[in-house]
A and B are shown apart, each in its own frame.
Chain A
Amino acid sequence: MTGIYGVLQMGRQALATQQTGINVTAENIANVNTPGYSRKRPVMETLPPVTTGEAQIGTGVTTREIERAYDRHLTDQIADESEHLGKWEAEKDGLERVEMVFNESSGFGLSQYLGEFWNAWEDLVNNPSGASERKMLAGAGETLAAYFQRTYNDLCEIQDELNRSVGQTVDAINLKAGEIAGLNEKIIRVETGGVNANDYRDSRDMLVKELSRMVDVAVSEQENGALVITLGDGNRLVEGSSSFDLTTLKNRSGLDDVAWASNPTASINASLSGGMLDGCLEVRDAAIPGYKNDLEDLAEAIKTKVNELHKKGYGLDGTTDKEFFAGSLSQNNFAISTDISEDVNKIAASATLTGLPGDSANAMAIAELQYDLTMDNGTASFNEHYIALVSRVGQDVQRATAGYDQQEAMLSHLENRRESISGVSLDEEMINMLQFETAYEAAAKLINTVDKMLDTLMSIV
């Protein structure tokens, strides 16, 4: 339409459009601190021109759409890196707990008690018939065995804690998947109507990022705007408005494996490769069992070697073929044998029956076990083996910490880029507000002018 009414219309549309601009600015300002919020821009466009005799005359402005400032690739990258971060974080946490079990820095760790055990044998060598030396030795053996057992049990407890985390994480994943499916439905509905579902998309992106931190997923967007989320084994977690639950299943060690609720007897642990879930499982099923085995090997070796020699020797009362250590760590009963704990005179210091009570050759042989290269294919002594274990734990923690720090820095950098593209800058919004406000005033002035023109026109008639 042209003519005065055309101009009036343009004024009206200008007012409305600039008001929309202020609306959008207001929303941006209100959400400056909302995490995951992408700033919106009104996309203004000129209305189609009208061709009159002499020229094409424009018909004003309208808001074509409200656009989200958003980089798809960046969002995907952030989700990806969140997976790695989640895994490193879970590994670091788990391993730091393990490290506390091997805390040797105060000086009262397994290394100390092992040393005191060998020293007690040497004291017995110096006085093989001494009652107090025998009692001290039995005590040192007991303390050593008890400390071994406690360390082992502490490791088992950490596994239990991690196991609980696995269950909790699975529940959280199911929850998030359900929410994403819900948002999928809403977005499909809104966008089939031809409008951008900006806020729903923001929420969904946040959920996907949080989900990625927990488990590694592959995300792809379908034409209707819905996301399809797939797990490592190729099965769908979310498709359209449906989500598919995960569940836990008890494995052979009595701990929880991850499985699909639709196929609850098949474990999918092997197909996980990122996220907190994988990190927990990694520490629970690979790292800690490794440390436990190492500890068990050491305890078994000490028990075997000491018992071997001890059985050949003779106690003060002439008894022979008695064991010094009994039980095993995995049975939760590693300790000195009841023979010894009931009667320390059965400790076989002497190598011969006739040599009693002054012969201490057997005690000497046992004491000298501490120098023998009995571990690691004949390359390490008991103490060296243990020290290497502690060192390994330290290195594993260092590695996980370095991985985490590095990943955190990388994610921080990506988030920064995202902020730069999608974040709200109050200064910018202030300027926009001024811009729209001025345009609004101008449009109002325009309407005023047209009004005066109409008055003039009316007064002619």
Chain B
Amino acid sequence: MRVTNRQFVNLVARNVNISSQRLLKAQERLATMKRINRPSDDPIGMNRVLEYRRKVASAEQYIRNIDTATIRVEATVCNLEDVHELLRQARDIAASQASANDPTGRITAARQIANIHDQVRDIANTRLGGSYLFAGHATDTRPFPKDKGEIYEGDSGSIETIVGEGIRIKINAHGNEVFTGSGVADGVNVFAALKEVKTALESPDFDAPSLAQAAEDLGKVVSQVETVVSEQSTTFKRLEQTREYWNHMKQKFEDVLSKTGDADAAQLAVELQAEETAYEMALASASNVLKRNLMDFLA
């Protein structure tokens, strides 16, 4: 087969071009520290990168949702524990007055009960970030306004939060459930019960059994509140666990993301070195090949 000058030229030009293309790609990877710089670099890899980016973003959003929910649940639990304590006190006062016969004591007790009544009402009307905690969906309506007495002005809406794909958790305590006993077996209205006690204490014809009965009712309210507190505590735990889960998963997702899309610095350095060497060799061989011909040897 004949070999001509242009064949050398073409071959050399082609080699140099191919080498420099590979060198360019290696340098690009070094500059971006990413293995995949466009979909065609690795379409399936790009697919995974986008998928996992989405998973990481989702996990972050769930964590954000959980954090917001946790604040609310904590606030609810704290408030209800205060209510619980107050009601326990009220029950003890009522019970002790029922067994004693102390008119002056009863007057003091009545005042204490009135005090407790107001505190409980205040707690029932707590707001968190401008929204009433115990009003269901009617977050802009005071659930237990003073002029309405023991009537609940909120609704029975559930506040939910998204903590996973299609997973919703209810995070509120219903004001009517806790404070008016509606929907609860053997439920008691807190304010009515406290008023009952106060009335019994202030009554000129003191009737110990009715006071004792009122004290028992208060006892029922205490367990009523307890039930909700433990419900909320369970929710709190569940939120915590879910948060940990997503934290863990987020890290795993970020790992896969890194493995798929990021370039390994050490490997890149080696690759770059190899391509540079190949390029230099292509150039060197070019100069060698193109210079020699017969004329160097003819006189």
List A residues at the B interface (Cβ < 8 Å): 32-33, 96, 99-100, 102-105, 107, 111-112, 115-116, 118-119, 122-123, 125-127, 129, 350, 352, 354-361, 364, 367-368, 371, 383-384, 386-388, 390-395, 397-398, 401, 412, 415-416, 419-421, 423-428, 430-431, 434
Identity of the chain B residue whose Cβ is nearest the Cβ of A395 in the assembled complex:
B43
State whether A364 and B294 are in contact (beta carbons under 8 Å apart), knowing that A32-B5, A355-B157, A393-B39 are contacts in the complex.
Answer: no
B155 in complex: contacting residue of A102, A355, A394, CB < 8 Å = A355
When each residue 1-44 of chain B gets 1 if its CB lies under 8 Å from chain A and 0 otherwise, what string results?
11111110111001000000000000000001010111111111
Q: Are A104 and B39 in contact (CB under 8 A)?
A: yes
- CA A118 to CA B37, docked complex, whole Å: 26
Instruction: Find chain B residues with CB under 8 A from A105 CB.
Output: 32, 34, 36-39, 46, 49
Q: Does B244 contact A (CB under 8 A)?
A: no
Contact A424–B14 (Cβ < 8 Å): no
Q: Is the CB of B50 within 8 A of A387?
A: yes
Cβ-closest chain B residue relative to A433: B298
| Residue pair A419, B54 in contact (C-beta under 8 Å) | no
Q: Does A119 contact B57, Cβ atoms closer than 8 Å?
A: yes
Known contacts A357-B140, A415-B10: does B47 contact A127 (CB below 8 Å)?
no
Task: Determine the chain A residues whose CB is within 8 A of the CB of B137 once the complex forms.
Answer: 350, 352, 354-359
Judge if B123 is at the interface, Cβ distance under 8 Å. Answer: no
A421 and B168 CA atoms in complex are apart in Å by 77
Q: How far is the CA of A276 from the CA of B205 in the complex (A)?
A: 109
Interface bits B263-299 vs A (CB < 8 Å: 1, else 0): 0000000000000000000000000000001110010
Q: Inside 8 A of B50's CB, which chain A residues have their CB? A: 104, 111, 383, 386-387, 390
A419 partner, pick from B10, B49, B161, beta carbons under 8 A: B10
Assembled-state Cα–Cα distance A126/B53 (Å): 23
Complex Cα spacing A393 to B159, Å: 43
B161 and A426 contact, CB distance less than 8 A: no
Q: Which residues of A contact B9 (CB under 8 A)?
A: 33
Closest to B130 in A: A129
Q: Nearest 5 pairs between A and B by C-beta?
A: A394-B39, A423-B4, A394-B43, A397-B40, A358-B139
Set of chain A residues within 8 Å of B298, measured between Cβ atoms? 430, 434
| Contact across chains for B4 and A419 when beta carbons are under 8 A apart | yes
* In the complex, chain B residues whose CB is within 8 Å of the CB of A391: 39, 43-44, 46-47
Contacting pair B166 A371 (CB below 8 A): yes
Residues of A contacting B240 with CB < 8 Å?
none
List, in ascending order, chain B residues with CB within 8 A of A416's CB: 7, 10-11
Which of B64-72, B79-87, B103-111, B145-153 is near enough to bind chain A? B64-72
- How far, in angstroms, from A431 to B46 measured CA to CA in the complex? 59
Residues of chain A lying within 8 A (CB to CB) of residue B186: none
Chain B residues contacting A421 (CB-CB under 8 Å) are 2
Nearest-Cβ distance from residue B11 to partner chain A, whole angstroms: 8
B interface bracket (residues with beta carbon within 8 Å of A) = 35 or more
Binding site of A, secondary structure by majority: helix, strand, loop or mixed?
helix
For chain B, residues 129 to 146, give those with C-beta under 8 angstroms from any C-beta of chain A: 129-131, 135-140
* A357 and B139 within 8 A (CB): yes
Partner of A125, one of B32, B136, B161: B161
15 residue pairs A–B, Cβ–Cβ below 8 Å? A99-B38, A105-B32, A115-B54, A122-B61, A122-B64, A126-B161, A359-B137, A364-B162, A387-B47, A391-B43, A391-B44, A398-B43, A419-B6, A426-B295, A427-B294
Which residues of chain A have C-beta atoms less than 8 A from B122's C-beta?
Answer: none
Contact B39 A390 (CB under 8 A): yes
Instruction: Return A53 CB to nearest CB of chain B, in Å.
Output: 47
B138 touches A358 (CB 8 A): yes
- Indicate which residue in B39, B64, B69 contacts A123 across the interface (CB closer than 8 Å): B64
B74 CB to closest chain A CB (Å) equals 15
Cβ of B92 < 8 Å from any Cβ of A?
A: no
Q: Taking A107-B53, A391-B39 as contacts, is the C-beta distance between A125 and B3 under 8 angstroms? A: no
Which A residues touch B166, using CB under 8 A?
A: 368, 371
With a cutoff of 8 Å between Cβ atoms, the chain B residues found around residue A125 in the complex are 65, 160-162
Q: Is B51 an interface residue (CB 8 A)?
A: yes
Task: Name the distance in Å between B111's Cβ and chain A's nearest Cβ.
Answer: 36
- List of A residues within 8 angstroms of B44 by Cβ: 391
A394 to B5, CA, bound (A): 40
Q: Is B102 an interface residue (CB 8 A)?
A: no
Select the residue from B5, B10, B155 with max chain A CB neighbours within 10 A: B5
Give, as a whole number of angstroms, the nearest-CB distance from B130 to chain A.
Answer: 8
Assess A127 versus B43: contact at CB under 8 Å? Given A104-B50, A423-B6. no
Chain B residues near A354 (CB-CB < 8 A): 137, 155
Known contacts A360-B160, A423-B2, A425-B4; can you find 17 more A-B pairs with CB under 8 A?
A: A99-B40, A105-B37, A111-B54, A125-B160, A129-B131, A357-B138, A364-B160, A371-B165, A386-B50, A391-B44, A391-B46, A393-B39, A420-B1, A421-B2, A423-B6, A424-B5, A424-B6
Contact partners of A424 in chain B: CB under 8 A: 4-6
Within 8 A of A (CB), among B165-200: 165-166, 168
CA distance A248 to B155 in the complex (A): 71
Structural contact, A32 and B6, CB atoms closer than 8 A = yes
Q: Which residue of chain B has its CB nearest to the CB of A107?
A: B53
Min CB distance, B298 to chain A, in Å?
A: 7
Whether B40 contacts A394 by the Cβ 8 Å rule is yes
Q: Determine the chain A residues whose CB is within 8 A of the CB of B40 once the complex forms.
A: 96, 99, 393-395, 397-398, 401
Q: Are B69 and A115 in contact (CB under 8 A)?
A: no
- Least distance between A182 CB and chain B CB atoms (Å): 27
Q: Which A residue sits closest to B159, measured CB to CB?
A: A358
Given A391-B47, A397-B40: A122 touches B65 (CB 8 Å cut-off)? yes
- In angstroms, Cα B58 to Cα A371, docked, is 11
Point out the residues of chain B lying under 8 angstroms from A33, CB to CB: 5-6, 9
Distance A105 CA – B260 CA, assembled complex (angstroms): 12
Q: Which residues of A contact B295 (CB under 8 A)?
A: 426, 430
Give the Cβ gap from B162 to chain A, nearest Cβ, in Å: 6
A111: chain B residues within 8 A (beta carbon): 50, 53-54
Partner of A127, one of B5, B61, B129: B129
Name B136's closest neighbour in chain A (CB-CB): A358
Residue of chain A at shortest CB distance from B68? A126
A116–B54 Cα distance when bound, in Å, is: 10
Query: Cα distance A415–B13 when bound, in Å?
Result: 14
Contact of B4 among A100, A119, A401, A420 (CB under 8 A): A420
CB distance from A26 to the nearest CB of B (A): 15
Instruction: Provide the residues of chain B in CB contact with A357, threshold 8 Å.
Output: 137-140
Known A99-B39, A359-B157; judge A126-B10 contact (CB<8 A): no
Q: Which residues of A contact B49 (CB under 8 A)?
A: 104-105
Q: Which residues of A contact B46 (CB under 8 A)?
A: 104-105, 390-391, 394
Question: Could you say which residues of chain B place their CB within 8 Å of the CB of A392?
Answer: 43
Q: Tell me the complex Cα distance, A367–B163, Å.
A: 12
Q: How far is the CA of A350 from the CA of B157 in the complex (A)?
A: 11
Q: Which residues of B contact A104 (CB under 8 A)?
A: 39, 46, 49-50
